[in-house]
Copies of this chain bind each other. A is one copy, B any other.
């Protein structure tokens, strides 16, 4: 699936919160398996991302339909999508707000990144098929983690 709504929730252990509509096929899969991989795409495969977002795994094999390559993960059953530059293997650690908000709290238990990708042009959904593409990176003096 394509996921827009997510955020960091903690550094140690690394937690990611994500909201997945219960109208999505993926909601039931994640709820049952309690593990997943977050694959992080860049603008080069934006059409494939939108394709995944506009179809259902209940109807088609998205790997075949969009020319994506599943690689085995190390600690979960879900796949690393080879066309993405980074992958977070996660397990669901808190379902307390799943019923009310469709909010899953995930712990990242393994992380992979392609070291050849220096400035990934990530894409960020603004709504209705509009995406902001990551621009330049700036560094400022900060005490923030």
Contacts and interface: CB of A to CB of B under 8 A. Distances in A.
Most B CB contacts (10 A, CB to CB) among A8, A53, A132 go to: A132
Interface in A6-59: 6-10, 15, 17-19, 43, 46-47, 50, 53-54
Interface residues on A, range: 35 or more
A113 interface: no
Contacts of A19: 7-10, 17
A129 B142 contact: yes
A136 B139 contact: no
Interface of A: 2, 4-10, 15, 17-19, 43, 46-47, 50, 53-54, 94, 96-97, 100-101, 103, 105, 121-145
